[in-house]
C-alpha cells in the first residue's frame, strides 16, 4: 500500500495551534493522513521494541514475512469489517464463515469433486473450481444475512450471532468432525511458504510497478485538480511524497528478497538451474509470498471501492447519517446488503489462505476470528459510532495486533500473556483515538 494520504472522508483533521502545528503544516502541504502515519510509527516502535528485547534477532526479512503472512487472514477480513462497522452494523459470523468455507475447500478437493462427481483424484483446475465455489458460498451466505438485516430489519448483531453458532455447528457435518488434509499442490501456493513465493525478479518487478503506480496516482491527482484550477500541493511536497512512496515500494521488495529459500529448496533450485552450490549453501531470494500479493490486491480494491465508488460513498454517508442517506434517495437497504456480500467474499479469500497454509481444514478454523477482525478494524481507527474508518487503517490494525502476538510468541511468551497484552493494546489504542478526536473537534 502507498503511504500517501488515504482519501477516505474520515480523518478528523482540523486546524489547531498546538506544538504539533509545524508538523501539521507539513502534513497539510503533503496531505498525509496523520492518523495512518501515527499507526505506522506505532507499528515501527513495536517492531523496534521486540528487536531490542531479542538482541536484534527479531527484525529480519524471514521473520517479518512470517508475521505478515500470519496477519493476512485477519487483515483481509478487516477490510470488509470496516465497511460493515462504518455502516453501523457488525458481523460476528466471519470466523464461522471462514471456517466453513475452509472446510468446503478441503472437502471439495479431497472428496466431493474426486469421489462424488467421479472426477478422479487428480484433475486440472480443481483448485480454481473449489475457489469459485467457495467464493460463491461466501457471497450467498453474506447475501442471506444481508437480506435479513437490511430488508427484514433484524439487528445485525442478532443475525450474525445466530450465524456464528449455526455455521460453526454445520462445519461438523461436512467431515463428521475430522480434520481433512491433503489439498491440491497449486492451491497450497495461496498460503505462501517458500514454494508459494514469487521469486527475486517478479518481486523487483512488483516493487517497480508499485513505484510507478504511486507516481502515476500523484500525477493523476495533480492533473485532476489542475483541470479545474484548484489549489495543488507545492511541487516539493509532491516530489517528497513520490520519493517516499517509491522508496517504500522498492524497500519492501528489497526486504522480501532478503528472505532466502530454505536450504533444501535452495539445493533443489541449484540442481534445476545447473548451479553448483557454494559452501554454506546457495542464497536464493524468495521474494513476496503469494498471500501478500493477495492482500495488496484486496486492500487496493477495497480502498478503491470505499473511496472511489458510489457504493463506498453511500456506505460512509449511511454511517454518518442514515436519515440523510435515505433522504438523498440512496437505496440504503441494498447498500447494507452489499456490505455483507463483500464480507462473505472476503471470508472465502481468507479461508483460502488459512486452509492453504494448513494444507487442510480442521473444525476450529476461524475460531474467534470475529474478535480479532473487529479488534483490527477498531485499532485501525474504525468507530462504532459509524461513518468513520479506513481500509489501510484496518490492515495496519491487523498488523499491529499480529506483531504483538508474533513478537511475544517469538520471545517465548505463552498465550495467556499474549492475550493480556493484546487486550490492553486494544483499549489503549481506542482510548488514545477517542481522546485525539475529542481534542481535534474542540
Task: Please tell me whether residue 117 binds another protein under the rule CB under 8 A.
Answer: no
Grid cell digits, residue 65: 514475512
As measured in angstroms, the least distance from the Cβ of 155 to another protein is 22
Size of the site for another protein (CB under 8 A): 85
Backbone angles phi, psi at 330, to 5 degrees: -75, 140
CA-CA-CA-CA torsion sign (154, 427, 381, 349): negative
- The residue among 261, 303, 235, 268 whose CA lies nearest residue 6 is 303
Only one residue has cell 511536497, namely: 237
CA angle 95, 96, 99 (to 5 degrees): 90
Toward another protein, which CB reaches closer, 34 or 248?
34
Of 17, 272, 278, 441, the one binding another protein (CB under 8 A) is 441
Grid cell digits, residue 293: 500479493
Task: Please tell me whether residue 357 binds another protein under the rule CB under 8 A.
Answer: yes
As measured in angstroms, the least distance from the Cβ of 434 to another protein is 15
Of 27, 142, 193, 381, the one binding another protein (CB under 8 A) is 193
Of 134, 360, 392, 393, the one binding another protein (CB under 8 A) is 360
Of 26, 216, 271, 309, the one binding another protein (CB under 8 A) is 309
Residue 353 neighbours by CB under 8 Å, 6+ apart: 72, 73, 76, 190, 191, 192, 291, 294
As measured in angstroms, the least distance from the Cβ of 111 to another protein is 4
Stretch that binds another protein, among 37-45, 210-218, 257-265, 339-347 (CB under 8 A): 257-265
* CA atoms of 391 and 300, how far apart (whole Å): 9
As measured in angstroms, the least distance from the Cβ of 348 to another protein is 17
Task: Please tell me whether residue 365 binds another protein under the rule CB under 8 A.
Answer: yes
Q: Footprint of another protein on residues 385-404 (CB under 8 A)?
A: 387-388
Of 110, 160, 335, 382, the one binding another protein (CB under 8 A) is 110
Of 123, 151, 157, 172, the one binding another protein (CB under 8 A) is 172
As measured in angstroms, the least distance from the Cβ of 247 to another protein is 26
Query: Is the Cβ–Cβ distance between 106 and 181 less than 8 Å?
Result: yes
Task: Please tell me whether residue 179 binds another protein under the rule CB under 8 A.
Answer: yes
Q: Footprint of another protein on residues 131-170 (CB under 8 A)?
A: none
- The residue among 193, 180, 166, 169 whose CA lies nearest residue 104 is 180
- The residue among 198, 171, 31, 13 whose CA lies nearest residue 97 is 171
* Cα-based distances in Å from 441 to 36, 86, 113, 438: 18, 19, 57, 5
As measured in angstroms, the least distance from the Cβ of 129 to another protein is 18
Toward another protein, which CB reaches closer, 57 or 283?
57
How far the first Cα of the chain sits from its last, in Å, is 32
CA-CA-CA-CA torsion sign (421, 425, 427, 432): positive
Stretch that binds another protein, among 40-48, 135-143, 173-181, 343-351 (CB under 8 A): 173-181
Stretch that binds another protein, among 6-14, 33-41, 240-248, 421-429 (CB under 8 A): 6-14
Q: How many helices (H) and strands (E) does the chain have?
A: 17, 2
Task: Please tell me whether residue 13 binds another protein under the rule CB under 8 A.
Answer: yes
Task: Please tell me whether residue 41 binds another protein under the rule CB under 8 A.
Answer: no
Q: Footprint of another protein on residues 14-33 (CB under 8 A)?
A: 14
Instruction: Give pairs for 209-213: CB < 8 Å, separation 24+.
Output: 210/2, 210/249, 210/250, 210/252, 210/253, 211/245, 211/246, 211/249, 211/250, 213/2, 213/249
Of 37, 204, 384, 410, the one binding another protein (CB under 8 A) is 410
Query: Is the Cβ–Cβ distance between 243 and 233 less than 8 Å?
Result: no
Q: Footprint of another protein on residues 318-337 (CB under 8 A)?
A: 319-321, 323-330
Q: Footprint of another protein on residues 55-84 (CB under 8 A)?
A: 57-58, 60, 62-63, 66, 69-70
Toward another protein, which CB reaches closer, 166 or 224?
224
Radius of gyration of the chain (CA): 23
Task: Please tell me whether residue 358 binds another protein under the rule CB under 8 A.
Answer: yes
As measured in angstroms, the least distance from the Cβ of 15 to another protein is 9
* CA atoms of 403 and 4, how far apart (whole Å): 22
Stretch that binds another protein, among 275-283, 308-316, 345-353, 390-398 (CB under 8 A): 308-316
Toward another protein, which CB reaches closer, 7 or 240?
7
Amino acid at each position: 500500500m502507498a503511504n500517501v494520504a488515504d482519501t477516505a472522508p474520515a480523518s478528523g483533521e482540523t486546524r489547531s495551534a498546538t506544538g504539533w502545528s509545524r508538523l501539521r503544516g507539513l502534513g497539510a502541504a503533503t496531505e498525509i493522513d496523520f492518523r495512518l502515519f501515527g499507526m505506522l510509527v506505532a507499528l515501527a516502535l513495536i517492531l523496534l521494541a521486540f528487536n531490542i528485547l531479542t538482541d536484534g534477532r527479531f527484525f529480519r526479512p524471514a521473520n517479518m514475512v512470517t508475521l505478515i503472512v500470519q496477519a493476512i487472514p485477519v487483515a483481509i477480513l478487516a477490510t470488509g469489517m470496516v465497511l460493515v462497522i462504518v455502516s453501523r452494523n457488525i458481523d460476528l459470523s466471519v470466523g464461522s464463515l471462514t471456517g466453513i468455507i475452509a472446510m468446503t475447500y478441503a472437502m471439495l478437493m479431497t472428496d466431493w469433486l474426486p469421489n462424488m462427481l467421479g472426477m478422479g483424484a487428480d484433475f486440472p483446475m480443481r483448485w480454481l473450481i473449489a475457489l469459485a465455489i467457495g467464493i460463491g458460498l461466501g457471497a450467498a451466505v453474506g447475501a442471506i444475512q444481508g437480506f435479513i438485516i437490511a430488508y427484514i430489519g433484524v439487528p445485525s448483531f442478532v443475525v450474525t450471532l445466530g450465524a456464528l453458532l449455526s455455521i460453526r455447528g454445520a462445519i461438523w457435518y461436512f467431515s463428521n468432525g475430522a480434520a481433512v488434509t491433503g489439498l491440491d499442490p497449486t492451491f497450497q501456493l495461496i498460503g505462501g511458504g517458500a514454494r508459494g513465493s514469487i521469486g527475486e525478479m517478479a518481486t523487483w518487478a512488483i516493487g517497480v510497478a508499485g513505484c510507478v503506480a504511486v507516481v502515476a496516482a500523484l500525477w493523476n491527482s495533480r492533473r485532476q485538480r489542475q483541470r479545474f484550477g484548484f489549489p495543488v500541493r507545492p511541487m516539493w511536497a509532491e516530489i517528497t511524497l513520490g520519493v517516499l512512496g517509491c522508496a517504500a515500494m522498492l524497500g519492501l521488495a528489497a526486504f522480501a528478497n532478503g528472505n532466502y529459500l530454505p536450504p533444501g529448496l535452495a539445493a533443489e533450485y541449484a540442481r534445476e538451474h545447473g548451479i553448483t552450490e557454494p559452501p554454506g549453501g546457495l542464497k536464493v531470494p524468495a521474494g513476496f509470498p503469494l498471500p501478500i500479493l493477495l492482500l495488496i490486491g484486496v486492500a487496493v480494491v477495497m480502498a478503491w471501492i470505499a473511496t472511489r465508488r458510489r457504493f463506498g460513498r453511500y456506505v460512509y454517508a449511511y454511517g454518518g447519517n442514515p436519515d440523510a442517506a435515505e433522504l438523498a434517495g440512496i437505496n440504503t437497504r441494498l447498500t447494507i446488503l452489499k456490505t455483507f456480500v463483500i464480507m462473505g467474499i472476503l471470508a472465502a479469500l481468507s479461508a483460502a489462505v488459512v486452509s492453504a497454509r494448513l494444507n487442510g481444514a480442521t473444525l476450529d478454523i476461524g475460531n474467534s476470528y470475529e474478535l480479532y477482525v473487529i479488534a483490527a478494524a477498531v485499532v485501525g481507527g474504525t468507530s462504532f459510532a459509524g461513518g468513520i474508518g479506513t481500509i489501510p487503517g484496518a490492515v495496519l490494525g491487523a498488523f499491529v495486533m499480529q506483531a504483538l502476538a508474533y513478537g511475544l510468541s517469538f520471545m517465548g511468551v505463552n498465550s495467556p500473556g499474549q492475550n493480556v497484552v493484546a487486550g490492553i493494546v486494544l483499549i489503549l489504542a481506542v482510548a488514545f483515538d477517542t481522546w485525539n478526536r475529542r481534542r481535534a473537534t474542540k
